[in-house]
Structure 1
Amino acid sequence: MIDSEDRDQGWEGTRRWVEGHLPAGERIAEVSALRGGWTSRMRRLDVRRPGRAGSYALVLRSFVKPFYRRHAPGLLAREAAVLRLLETSGIPAARLVAVDAAGAVCEHPSLVMTHLPGGVRLAEDGDTARRADLLAAQLAAVHALAVGEQDRP
C-alpha cells in the first residue's frame, strides 16, 4: 500500500529504483512510515520473495527538506561509507542495499538499508544506566575499528 503523499511525490521512480537493487522477482509489497527521522522521511518497505512465504523489511531514508536535500550528496555518501565499513565488523548495524545520494533517480536523495529489529525507548524506566553502558560499549567498538586513512568517511 502506497500513501497519497508518496504517490504525489514521484514514488514510482523510487519504487523502480529500489526494486532494481533487489534479487530477481522480489517486489515491494507494502510501504509504511516510520517514526522519527527529523532529518529525513523514513519508510519501511516490506519486500515479498517469489515462491516463499512471508516477507522481509528494508528501510528507505529520503531527504525531503530543502536544507538536507542540498547537503544530501555528502551526508548520504558518508552514511553509505560507514555502513560498508561496519558490514564485516560484528557490530550490529544495518547493511547498505543502495544509495542515490544526489537524487538522480529517486524523487529525493535516498538510501536503502536493511531493517533492524527493535525500537526507540526514551522513557525513564529505571534501566537507563544499563542501556547507557550497552550504548557506550557499542560506541567504543565502532571507534576501535581499524580503518585505513583512505577509507575513513
Structure 2
Amino acid sequence: MAAKDGDTVRVHYTGTLNDGTVFDSSFGSDPIEFAIGDHMVIAGFENAVLGMEPGDTKSFTIASAEAYGEHDPRLVQDVPRAELPPEMIPQPGMRLTARGQDGSEIGLVITHVTDEAVRLDANHPLAGQDLTFEIQLVEIAA
C-alpha cells in the first residue's frame, strides 16, 4: 500500500544543510506524524512521501525557495539597544519573540550586537538554505 493524498503517515527523517550539518532529526525519538495534503510540513517533504510504502527510504533535496524561502534582507533590522529591556544581555544567536501589529508572534534571532544597536533577523532560521532529507516511511495509519 503506497502513501497517497489524505493518508496519515509516520515518518522518520534527518535533515541536513549543504555543508552536511544536521539541523533536525527524528531518529532516536518518535517519528513525526502528519496527513498528506494538510500542509503541516513543507510541501517538498509532503510530496516526497507520496508513493512510498512502509519501510521505504528516500533521500531528496528541497531548494530554499520551496522550503522556507529565500533570505529576505527587508526582514533584518538594526534596533537601538535602548529599545531593549534594560536587564537583557543580547548575544548573537539569541532567539526573541515580538508581537506584530496584528498581534501575531514573530520569531527573531539576534545576529549582531554593538554598543549602540542589535541586529534582529525575522527570517526563518533555515531561509535561504537548500535542505536535504533522508526519510523512512514507518507507517501509513489505517
**TM-score (normalizing by structure 1):** 0.24
Which of 1 and 2 has greater Rg?
2
The structure that is helix-richer by fraction is 1
**TM-score (normalizing by structure 2):** 0.25
The structure that is strand-richer by fraction is 2
